[in-house]
Amino acid sequence: MEQMNLFGGLDEKIQRSIDIIKLAADMSEHYYHKPLLIAYSGGKDSEVLVDLAIKSGVPIEILNSQTTVDAPETVYHIRRQFAKWREMGIPCEIKYPTYKGKRTSMWELIPREGIMPTPWARWCCAVLKETSGGRRITALGVRRSESVNRKDRAAYEIIGKNKESAIRKTYEDTAEVYQEDLDDSPYGECRFIEKAKKNAKISANPIIDWTDEDVWAYIRDNGVIYNPLYDEGFSRVGCVGCPLAGGKHMRRDFERWPKYEKLYRRACQKLYDTLKAQGKAFYTTASSTNIEAKSGDEIFDWWINVRR
């Protein structure tokens, strides 16, 4: 785990982030023959990430994965930002979710998956966001301070089938093994480089050690344009009704965008009808307990009030 920047100043972190971006971009061109891909969500972290990547001067492409449950304000903000960056000559792409080769949405996936998206059943992220980008090096706005679940994250990662099979590398380690490969040195067993040579999907996390205060200080000091929802008091601007945010935030989302509550309730009814047609008429909790449902509204009410 990289710790040095946790206690460093913002200027140090900025330089460190640019170094991570430059190394990722160099490796992307060398192994994948493609520019570094920047994953952009329209949130404050990816806003900083794009600005740092532009300042680094490396070739980049920017990708946004539309989840179909993004707030309208976020969608419009992304379009405005993409128009600006395209004028700068930066390729920008908006990708829409697909399932088995066909366009899909959250509302179609809920009855198909047979369970509401929850912290213990995060199929929504896997289908709606994490399939974009393909086999290449992608820079993400991941930060350790966001969650205890991210405390072991590193500057460079290859995510495996489980935590034990994941490969996590510091900037120094990655720079060393990459240089050894360029020099054709006998560096021994290096799974990270071997995976890169096979075009594995690699994540670079340039702002891994940044805090919320760092992000907002950078935005303020550099005049970075950001999502207007933050000025309405929203601390996060991800998917509307994200179950990871908790019931309080979900209810606030649905007060702000009531149309989304109607869409979720309609999907819950389809889920109920699907389960009933299969002779189940229940849904499963985190403890794998089967709960009988009498309607789609009952499933929705359970979902928004479930303890996380």
Tell me how far apart the alpha carbons of residues 12 and 206 are, in angstroms, rounded to a whole number: 12
Predicted model pTM: 0.89
- Residue range 161-170, pLDDT digits in tens: 666 678 999 9
Whether residue 84 is found in the same domain as residue 224 = yes
What number of residues does the chain have? 308
pLDDT of residue 307: 64
Whether residue 17 is found in the same domain as residue 77 = yes
Please check whether residue 210 lies inside any domain of the structure.
yes
270, 296 Cβ separation under 8 angstroms: yes
Report the range out of 104-108, 121-125, 276-280 with the highest average pLDDT: 104-108
Whether residue 278 is found in the same domain as residue 197 = no
Please check whether residue 102 lies inside any domain of the structure.
yes
Orientation angle between helical segments 72-87 and 44-56, nearest 10 degrees: 10
- Residue range 68-91, pLDDT digits in tens: 999 999 999 999 999 999 999 999
Whether residue 28 is found in the same domain as residue 127 = yes
Whether residue 184 is found in the same domain as residue 129 = yes
Structurally, the chain folds into a number of domains equal to 2
Whether residue 46 is found in the same domain as residue 115 = yes
Question: Average of pLDDT values for 229-239?
Answer: 93
Residue 81, burial from CB neighbour count under 10 angstroms (0-12, 13-18, 19+): buried
Q: What is the DSSP letter of 30?
A: I
Is residue 292 scored above 60 in pLDDT? yes
Please check whether residue 237 lies inside any domain of the structure.
no
Contacts of 119 (CB under 8 A, 6+ apart): 243, 244, 286, 308
pLDDT of residue 3: 41
Please check whether residue 197 lies inside any domain of the structure.
yes
**Residue 118 token pair:** 């929850």
Whether residue 270 is found in the same domain as residue 138 = no
Question: Average of pLDDT values for 141-166?
Answer: 82
Is residue 153 scored above 80 in pLDDT? yes
Question: Average of pLDDT values for 102-115?
Answer: 92
CA 96 to chain centre: 14
| End residue of a domain, out of 232, 261, 281 | 232
H/E stretch holding 140 reads none
**Residue 279 token pair:** 């002779």
Q: Which percentage of the chain shows pLDDT scores above 70?
A: 90
- Residue range 158-207, pLDDT digits in tens: 987 666 678 999 999 999 999 999 998 876 568 899 999 999 999 999 99
| End residue of a domain, out of 181, 200, 232 | 232
3-state class of 141 per DSSP? coil
Q: What range does the domain containing 248 cover?
A: 243-305
Is residue 140 scored above 90 in pLDDT? yes
Please check whether residue 20 lies inside any domain of the structure.
yes
Is residue 107 scored above 60 in pLDDT? yes
Give 239's pLDDT tier (boundaries 50, 70, 90): very high
| End residue of a domain, out of 183, 210, 232 | 232
Please check whether residue 54 lies inside any domain of the structure.
yes
Contacts of 59 (CB under 8 A, 6+ apart): 25, 29, 35, 36
Whether residue 175 is found in the same domain as residue 256 = no
Is residue 228 scored above 90 in pLDDT? yes
142, 206 Cβ separation under 8 angstroms: no
Whether residue 182 is found in the same domain as residue 273 = no
280, 115 Cβ separation under 8 angstroms: no
Is residue 121 scored above 90 in pLDDT? no
Please check whether residue 238 lies inside any domain of the structure.
no
Question: Average of pLDDT values for 136-155?
Answer: 86
CATH number for the domain that contains residue 137: 3.40.50.620
Tell me how far apart the alpha carbons of residues 74 and 76 are, in angstroms, rounded to a whole number: 5
H/E stretch holding 210 reads none
pLDDT of residue 246: 85
Whether residue 108 is found in the same domain as residue 164 = yes
Please check whether residue 89 lies inside any domain of the structure.
yes
Question: Average of pLDDT values for 258-286?
Answer: 88
Give 129's pLDDT tier (boundaries 50, 70, 90): confident
Orientation angle between helical segments 212-222 and 10-27, nearest 10 degrees: 90
Whether residue 118 is found in the same domain as residue 183 = yes
Tell me how far apart the alpha carbons of residues 46 and 206 are, in angstroms, rounded to a whole number: 10
Is residue 62 scored above 90 in pLDDT? yes
23, 127 Cβ separation under 8 angstroms: no
Tell me how far apart the alpha carbons of residues 258 and 241 are, in angstroms, rounded to a whole number: 11
3-state class of 43 per DSSP? coil
pLDDT of residue 167: 92
pLDDT of residue 8: 66
pLDDT of residue 190: 86
Give 126's pLDDT tier (boundaries 50, 70, 90): confident
Whether residue 215 is found in the same domain as residue 248 = no
Give 288's pLDDT tier (boundaries 50, 70, 90): low
